[in-house]
Amino acid sequence: MIIHLIDDDDIINALHEMVLTDVNPNIQVLCFRSGRQYVNYIESIHFKKPDKVFLDIRMPEMDGHEVISYLEVKEPNPLEDVELFVLSSTLNENDHKKVLEHNIVTDFISKPLTIDDVETIILS
Amino acid sequence: MQYSDEYNDLLEKYRKLQLRTTRFSAIEQELINTRDRLDYELESYKRLSQYSYFALESTNENHFFSTITEAIIDVLEVEVAVVYFNHLKNPQKSKVYTEGIVTEKNQTQLSQEIISLNRENKLQKPGKVLVDSCANYSVLSKYAHILFSAHNENALGYEIYFLGMNSLENASLYQTIEERHETLFAVLVQQMQSLLANRKRREQIENQVKLISKSEKELKKLSLIATKTNSGVIITDAFGRIEWTNNAFTNLTGYSLAEIIGKKPKDFLQGPKSDQKSIKRLATALKNKQDIEISLINYTKQGEIYYNNLEIISVFDDKNKHINFIAIQKDITEDTRAKQEILRMNSRFELITNKSKIGIWEWTPENNTVVWNEINYEIYGLNPKETKIDLYEFWKKSIHEDFKDATLQNIQKIIDNHSDHTQERIKIRRNNDKSERILDTVTIAERDEHNKLIRLLGSSRDITAKAELQESLQNAIKQRDDSIEKTEVIKTFYERILTHSPSQILVFDNHLNLTYSNISKSEKNNNWNIPLNTSLHDLAKKHDNNRLKAIVDSISQAKKTGQVVQIEDSFFNEKNEQVHFIRSILPYFSEKDKLENIIIIGLEISEVKRIQADIILKNTELRKINLELDNFVYSISHDLRSPLLSVKGIISFLLQKEALSENAIKFLNLATDSINRLDTTIQEILEYSRNAREHIKYEKFNLSELVKVIFKDLKFANEKNIDFIFKNQDPCWIETDKSRINILLKNIIGNSVKYTRENVKAFVEVNWTYNNEQLTITITDNGEGIDEIYLPKIFDMFFRATTSSIGTGLGLYICKEITNKLSGKIKVKSTKKLGTTFSVQLPLKRHFL
């Protein structure tokens, strides 16, 4: 199973990787430090479609909203049938609502990702 | 450390923003103050006009003056008012009127000081007196502020002084005297003084009218003399030289008329025993042409002493020139010769009475005969040749019904010896033309020594024409005075208002010639140097002036539409500052829809414009800052939380997955608690700033559901064993701001959960009730309770009652802010070691059940 983590916080990425591999050691985790990096990756020849994506909202260079907008207009959709979770520590309800308006977003999860969260997501 | 720096930075920026907001509201306040001040001044002028009206209406002089003092106190808002009326000819009539507490009871001293203050100060116009110049005055030096005005009315014989003062000890309680007060004072004094002058002029006229009626009385006396023939009578000329005496006088003194004509009575009647004091009194009265009644010892021709009761009457002609003295010597022993005398006298007095149009009648009870003179026939409209008529019956019939009973009663009184004469004004119906006439009548009884009635003598004078004339004259004078007074007062009043109006007012006739302008030449922003009676058309043509042209165009528009047209007029003044005016052009039509005037009212709005532009600019700035702050707060909170949450995640992972020593677990749990606390703080700051800035979002929701969710969350997040009691679980549909109510209840219930007492089974109970207007939610617990001394402070920002408190001190402050925002109230009752009850009252926009 391939999972993409897009977050500018290395510690969070490390933590989330630990949590994910703890639930399932076979999970292959790829981390990206900004939306720009991730989009570059999608555009590159190395891109390999993941099973699930965890996307942070507030990031430098290119934030989560911009990544979502990019994905929505991109033809064909590089993340067809992929579950896209938005992870954020924002307290701004508007961020919350805005994200869920997009069809390609599966759900919104508050940081940090816990073992319980991961179990629910992966086992479902 | 880094977080706390950022946190401090956030607070710092927030403080700066609050400072700015305060500054903008100060500017707004200044605008409001200016408007209030103008309103206030207008109010003062209105009050002044009210007092002028009272003064105009007052009939009593004391009342008139006390109205003035009241006006000074009330309109100028000073502590003490003094009006000193100085009567120049008769100092006894001078009077000091005061209102308020005058420190000096000695009003003589006060009035002397006022007079010398006037002499020394030489104020050209009413105004403020420099207190230094009063240092030598014992009364006035006790005052800190003095407004003073003096008027001299030599022609009317008085001086009037007006003062408005604040005492030294109370000066701080009153406003300092400013130019505004002086202006107001000048208007007040001018109005009151003109009212007073009018009043005095009217009094003069009234006095003249009184004088006229006085000389009439003397005429009456003259007609009386004709009947008082049992006394000795002397008529002298204006210098006291005898012109005529009656027989009674000759009989009494032994002097015949021929012997004494041209002499003065004192030259031959007085002797050594005559009382010198009385003589002196008599001489003074004669010199002053006053009437006098005096008892004197006189001598007859034979040198015999006789006691003379002398009455002297001065006679004036209609031009008030003194023409005669008439002296009557009362003699009660000489009435036996009365009848003879009267016949002799009649022929002479017939002449006088004919001249003075006095009707005379006589009734003798002995043979019941009535005799009238010709004038009396004339007065009653009866032909003198009509002899068959019963004159008494005829007379009775002639009297007007309204006067008949009283007149007959009075005559009966004389007959019955209850009085010896009556004087009446009666109304009769004249026989020949049936017109109503007004008569002045005198009736006198003549009695013998046994007091038996010999005859009744009467005089009557037709004063109808005179009375009517007098009445209509008085009415006319009064009406004229009233209307002059009123129009003048109103005119002055409005002129004053116009002169002191902050607006520039120009009045043009329908050919656009300037007929009135209240712009003084010294005015700073005088950009209207239009001489009176100059046409605006010509000016606009002569000087190629766009501003003038714009105004002429607007005037045409106003003329056409008949409506007020407003234009903005901007120019640079002498100091090269841009000045803005708004000019309202008002076409004024007469009743017949004919254009009479064009009135242009210019109001300077430079300041308003400047402030307006300033406010718009600052508002935009403020809005921008607000938006920036919004983003800033979210970014900061996000950036603060992100690392916090990753630490939290790591710890939770460690606790769950690693085999740790007991101590490690304990410390990690403590770390988690600290992280949670910091997180709560960040959330609360965010909640606070959101509540302060965001508008209320109304939505419909079920309060009961919300309470249940809060209970569930708190139960889940807490390990304490607490009873959550929700009394009224009925659905409660309300429409208000859900997220704010959520924060509010979470905070209060959260506190109950946080501060429980040990060894007591804790509970928190929520209940709600409502009526038509408001919803009341109560949250009761049996927790620690709050110390009574802290109760008033618990809603303060950053207040924490105990060191055991683990909050930020923001929670209840936010609750208070939220209820304020929702126009509600929050109250608390608490007893230490017993528990606390919060009640939240919310007005509901709508509610559903």
Q: pLDDT tens-digit profile of B419-447? A: 777 888 888 998 888 888 888 888 888 88
Evaluate if residue B188 carries a pLDDT over 80.
yes
**Quick check: A113 contacting B, CB < 8 Å?**
yes
Which comes out higher in pLDDT, residue B618 or A123? B618
pLDDT of residue B2: 63
For A25-117, where are the E strands, in sequence order? 28-32, 52-56, 83-88, 107-110
Task: Tell me the shortest Cα–Cα distance from A59 to chain B, in angstroms.
Answer: 10
Q: How far is Cα B686 from Cα B678, in angstroms, rounded to an integer?
A: 12
**Quick check: B641 contacting A, CB < 8 Å?**
yes
Which comes out higher in pLDDT, residue B452 or B219? B452
Minimum-distance CB partner of A112 among B635, B645, B686: B645
The mean pLDDT value of chain A amounts to 88
Q: Tell me if A89 and B641 make a contact (CB, 8 A cut-off).
A: yes
Minimum-distance CB partner of A114 among B634, B635, B652: B652
Q: Tell me if A11 and B643 make a contact (CB, 8 A cut-off).
A: yes
**Quick check: A112 contacting B, CB < 8 Å?**
yes
pLDDT of residue B218: 47
Which comes out higher in pLDDT, residue B643 or B521? B643
Q: Which residues of A touch B641 (CB under 8 A)?
A: 89, 91, 111
Q: Which of A24, A92, A96 to mutate to test the interface with B (most CBs of B within 10 A)?
A: A92
Sorting pLDDT into bands at 50, 70 and 90, what band is B227? very low
Q: Which of B645, B655, B656, B739 to mutate to test the interface with A (most CBs of A within 10 A)?
A: B645
pLDDT of residue B369: 81
Minimum-distance CB partner of A9 among B637, B646, B657: B646
Q: How far is Cα B51 from Cα B56, in angstroms, rounded to an integer?
A: 8
- The identity of residue B624, as a single letter, is K
Q: How far is Cα A55 from Cα A108, in angstroms, rounded to an integer?
A: 10
pLDDT in tens, B3-24: 778 888 888 888 888 887 777 7
Q: How far is Cα B772 from Cα A77, in angstroms, rounded to an integer?
A: 56
The b/e string for A67-98 (b: 16+ C-beta within 10 A; e otherwise) is bbebbeeeeeebbeebbbbbbbbbbbeebeeb
**Quick check: B643 contacting A, CB < 8 Å?**
yes
Name, in order, each residue with C-beta under 8 angstroms of B14's C-beta and a sequence gap of 6 or more: B629, B689
Task: Tell me the shortest Cα–Cα distance from A43 to chain B, in angstroms.
Answer: 29
Nearest chain B residue to A56, by CA: B642
Q: Which residues of B touch A11 (CB under 8 A)?
A: 643, 646-647, 650
Name, in order, each residue with C-beta under 8 angstroms of A34's C-beta and a sequence gap of 6 or more: A6, A8, A59, A60, A61, A62
Highest-confidence segment of B196-205, B443-452, B819-828: B819-828
Task: Tell me the shortest Cα–Cα distance from B43 to chain A, in angstroms.
Answer: 53
Evaluate if residue B778 carries a pLDDT over 60.
yes
Minimum-distance CB partner of B643 among A9, A18, A19: A9
Task: Tell me the shortest Cα–Cα distance from B763 to chain A, in angstroms.
Answer: 31
Task: List the single range of A76-80, B320-324, B604-608 with lowest mean pLDDT.
Answer: B320-324
Q: N- to C-terminal Cα distance for chain A? A: 14
**Quick check: A12 contacting B, CB < 8 Å?**
yes
Q: Tell me if B653 and A115 make a contact (CB, 8 A cut-off).
A: yes
Q: Tell me if B638 and A58 make a contact (CB, 8 A cut-off).
A: yes
pLDDT of residue B337: 44
Minimum-distance CB partner of B657 among A22, A89, A92: A22
Q: Which residues of B touch A112 (CB under 8 A)?
A: 645-646, 648-649, 652
pLDDT of residue A55: 93
For B387-435, where are the E strands, in sequence order? 421-429
- Over residues B55-79, the mean pLDDT reads 84
Q: Tell me if B649 and A15 make a contact (CB, 8 A cut-off).
A: yes
Which comes out higher in pLDDT, residue B736 or B212? B736
Task: Tell me the shortest Cα–Cα distance from A45 to chain B, in angstroms.
Answer: 32
Backbone phi, then psi, for B317, in 5-degree steps?
A: -85, 180
Q: Would you say the C-alpha torsion B569, B570, B571, B576 has a positive or negative sign?
A: positive
Nearest chain A residue to B653, by CA: A19
Q: CA angle, B453 as apex, B452 and B457 as ends, to 5°?
A: 155
**Quick check: B638 contacting A, CB < 8 Å?**
yes
Nearest Cα to B567, choosing from B586, B553, B546, B582? B582
- Over residues B605-624, the mean pLDDT reads 85
pLDDT of residue A52: 93
**Quick check: B635 contacting A, CB < 8 Å?**
yes
Q: Would you say the C-alpha torsion B222, B226, B230, B236 has a positive or negative sign?
A: positive
The mean pLDDT value of chain B amounts to 79
Q: Tell me if A91 and B645 make a contact (CB, 8 A cut-off).
A: no
pTM above 0.80, yes or no: no
Q: Tell me if A90 and B638 make a contact (CB, 8 A cut-off).
A: yes
pLDDT in tens, B37-55: 777 877 888 888 888 888 8
Q: Which residues of A touch B739 (CB under 8 A)?
A: 93
Global ipTM: 0.74
The neighbouring-strand residues paired with B839 are: B778, B827
Sorting pLDDT into bands at 50, 70 and 90, what band is B136? confident
Evaluate if residue B640 carries a pLDDT over 90.
no
pLDDT in tens, B674-721: 888 888 888 888 877 777 777 788 888 899 999 998 888 888 777 778
Which comes out higher in pLDDT, residue B164 or B521? B164
**Quick check: A92 contacting B, CB < 8 Å?**
yes
Task: State the virtual CA torsion across B242, B246, B251, B257 in degrees, nearest 10.
Answer: 40
Helix (H) or strand (E) holding B129, with range, is strand B127-129
pLDDT of residue A5: 93
Q: Are B789 and B823 in contact (CB under 8 A)?
A: no
Evaluate if residue A47 carries a pLDDT over 50.
yes
Evaluate if residue A44 carries a pLDDT over 80.
yes
pLDDT in tens, B354-394: 555 677 788 888 888 888 877 788 888 888 887 778 888 88
pLDDT of residue B782: 92
Q: Which residues of A touch B740 (CB under 8 A)?
A: none
pLDDT of residue B805: 62
**Quick check: A25 contacting B, CB < 8 Å?**
no
